[in-house]
Structure 1
């Protein structure tokens, strides 16, 4: 375990998910605990090195432990084929991460908070509706409804994504993989290609990252069916949703409606796009809202 001069320690902490190793990083304050903890994982096809260390650090400096991990087939986690985005598989990894974290020394298993962003924002909302043992949920610019998200994709791309998804799904029977780009510029064929996407995505990719701009196309057949908002009324824990007014990927109106349907939902909307929540002044605003939410609903132990 490495000690940090900022008053917290950092260590690698892996867990098993359906026969594969998922790799994560645990940050904990320099106090005996037991501490509440925030579990973080990234959105569509991203890796845990993409700004999550910086975000997690803020939670730890505020008195919480934090744990961020890579899904199977991403980052330095195991699993093949690589770059496999799948809601069911990702949520399996989330469940195993929650079980793993709940057994760690110095962690209060009754004060586990889930943090999700974009696609993983949808995951944490879905999990919260299924009575996962967590104290609260925070979702920023979350995927809310598959059809609403698909409406933001240009028709020509949507048609090509459908064909690619069929090719990859059928090909997987014989071990063939068909990949599509994750991010592109306006007019490109990619999962995300609106004006904000290219520069926004690469604003959070670390220098010297080995990340590849591709995803298994089979996810496109599942994307329209993944709609956490259908289960909003079943979420019984305090839930924070932060949306971007100018988000061209996950529309703010869907996020607002879901927050209103959650019994303990809290909604904030910022004048930003999808990627601006990760950096600069909007990151500062998001963190201020999230830390206030955490203090209200979980408490904190600071030595």
Structure 2
């Protein structure tokens, strides 16, 4: 069976904005809602995990945030924390209404910044049955301070200037000023950490997703810097699995570990490697742990 045959394209709305998703119809009545990290579209960000979950019997709804990928929304490539949170809520509501899905058995899965959104979503929506936070960015200020260690002063100043110009330009309806998602120290990019530079190899091996624009609006970085969903971990009432990479030099392992400890029903899986290890040499380990977690908490047969 090809990837195309495994899922169908669907659409749903969030405050009038059309969001695009891939629906994998499962057999066990449970559904996992997924999306990629900051600026990452659903195909490179979720496909390998979505296929594994689907093969285990779960339905999957993998969606693109507004402004990127196949979803509508203007201006393009602008990613705000408030907008992404609203998109998540709309996706959960849509997934719960799918004909094969038991609305009491819907889980959220996220990677990096989207994992932070999944944590916050679980804290604010007790109807969620489970949450998986993989390489979670749950403390934006800490991640920002750490990223600065691997960036050159001149590049940091250029990035800040571009962000400010982009924010002002946005007030006048001008197109976004883009910055790359990953790059080397000295380049203007969201991540110039040692493992952050592996993003393309991990998510886009061999250029398999040429349609993915690996850039976001410079103004989008300001919201990430202040993003602190880990503070809400203690309010999560559903089972929560945190998959933390011990050598993560992009979002750091410490905040994710502490969030897992604060969550009343938190579970922690630690794997060796950097930020993208679950997509690279630790992929099989991460998938097995996540499927086992979902089977324990979402299946009834």
- Whether the TM-score (by the shorter chain) exceeds 0.5 is yes
Q: Classify the secondary structure of the residue corresponding to 1:210.
A: coil
Structure 1-normalised TM-score? 0.91
Shift in Å at residue 200 of structure 1? 3.2
Deviations 1:11-58 (A, max 9, x none): 2111011212111111123x4x5x101111000111111052221111
CA shift in 2, pair 1:171/1:64, >3 Å: same
Aligned to 1:195: 194
For structure 1, which runs of at least 5 residues remain unmatched after alignment? none
Aligned to 2:296: 296
The whole-number CA distance in structure 2 between the counterparts of 1:208 and 1:243 is 26
For structure 2, which runs of at least 5 residues remain unmatched after alignment? none
Structure 2-normalised TM-score? 0.91
Q: Is the 8 A contact 2:37 2:45 kept in 1?
A: no
Aligned to 2:48: 54
1:175 to 173, 177, 180: 173
The whole-number CA distance in structure 2 between the counterparts of 1:108 and 1:208 is 32
2:101 to 91, 107, 110: 107
For the pair 1:10 / 2:7, whether they are aligned, the reply is yes
Aligned pair count?
A: 293
Aligned counterparts, 1:156-167, within 5 A:
156=153, 157-167=155-165
CA shift in 2, pair 1:247/1:92, >3 Å: same
Q: Which has the higher helix share?
A: 2
The whole-number CA distance in structure 2 between the counterparts of 1:145 and 1:46 is 19
Deviations 1:220-254 (A, max 9, x none): 22122210011111111110001111111111011
Q: Classify the secondary structure of the residue corresponding to 2:190.
A: coil
Aligned Cα RMSD in Å?
1.9
The whole-number CA distance in structure 2 between the counterparts of 1:208 and 1:288 is 25
The whole-number CA distance in structure 2 between the counterparts of 1:131 and 1:161 is 35
